[in-house]
Amino acid sequence: ETGVTQTPRHLVMGMTNKKSLKCEQHLGHNAMYWYKQSAKKPLELMFVYNFKEQTENNSVPSRFSPECPNSSHLFLHLHTLQPEDSALYLCASSPIRGADTQYFGPGTRLTVL
Amino acid sequence: DQQVKQNSPSLSVQEGRISILNCDYTNSMFDYFLWYKKYPAEGPTFLISISSIKDKNEDGRFTVFLNKSAKHLSLHIVPSQPGDSAVYFCAARGMEYGNKLVFGAGTILRVKS
């Protein structure tokens, strides 16, 4: 049990759909992260939230819209995605931003048709 | 341009033997290095780390070595066990990057029984 859960685990969507990914952490952490992992590529940091405030947007296209209503929950809203956005989306948390160790959720496998 | 490189996409080792996973980095400002392990359908989990002021850190069967002059680190697993079969990610952190983790693309380790 990593303490970080993600739903759904798998998602297939068309390019005109709107969907959301959810992440919840039960570790009492204050920083949360979204990463993208494409096949055979390194994990790419997308967004960082620290105490509910966005502190990092790593040049992510606006078709990805994060939301952090509180320190325990993080969403990634998706709209008008492209097939190249198909990837594993991982959520992570840490006690504070920049902490040595981040704890990851299992990820959402997204397929955009 | 990848700043953290894991040049071996995969490694196969016999049970009981030593597994050596390698990682190279380009930025001398990185001051902390981590290894994560990932099983299929699970998120990465923290395995072991090392600060740039050290050249070795050991935790049970796992030892990480850091060669700063060569900008190289390695993870040694001895003895290797079938349960060690997973993807291993190297990650680096530095204040210049706001303490974000920069990941390598991963190495798939298969331990044969």
Measured in whole angstroms, the distance separating CA A58 from the mean position of its chain's CA atoms is 12
The pLDDT confidence band at residue A56, using thresholds 50, 70 and 90, is confident
The pLDDT confidence band at residue B104, using thresholds 50, 70 and 90, is very high
In this complex, the residue of A41, A105, A107 whose CB is nearest that of residue B105 is A41
Which among A76, A21, A87 is positioned nearest to A47, based on CA atoms?
A76
More confident residue, A96 or B80: B80
Shortest distance, CA B97 to any CA of chain A (angstroms): 10
The pLDDT confidence band at residue A2, using thresholds 50, 70 and 90, is low
pLDDT tens digit string along A10-54? 999 998 889 999 999 999 999 999 999 998 889 999 999 999 999
State the residue for tokens 């940091």: A45
State the residue for tokens 């948390």: A93
Shortest distance, CA B99 to any CA of chain A (angstroms): 5
The pLDDT confidence band at residue A103, using thresholds 50, 70 and 90, is very high
pLDDT tens digit string along B15-30? 999 999 999 999 999 9
Identify the helix (H) or strand (E) that includes residue A87: strand A87-94
A97 in contact with chain B, both atoms CB, cutoff 8 A: yes
Measured between beta carbons, the chain A residues lying within 8 angstroms of B36 are 104
Yes or no, beta carbons of B45 and A45 under 8 Å apart: no
The dihedral of CA A25, A28, A34, A35: what is its sign?
negative
DSSP-based three-state secondary structure for A84: helix
Whether the pLDDT of residue B99 is over 80: the answer is no
pLDDT tens digit string along B39-78? 988 899 999 999 999 999 999 999 999 999 999 999 999 9
Q: Give Cβ neighbours of residue B58 (< 8 Å, ≥ 6 apart).
A: B64
Q: For residues B10 and A48, is the Cβ–Cβ distance under 8 A?
A: no
In which order are the strands placed within the sheet that holds B62-67? B4-5, B19-25, B72-77, B62-67, B56-59
Yes or no, beta carbons of B46 and A103 under 8 Å apart: yes
In this complex, the residue of B34, B45, B104 whose CB is nearest that of residue A42 is B104
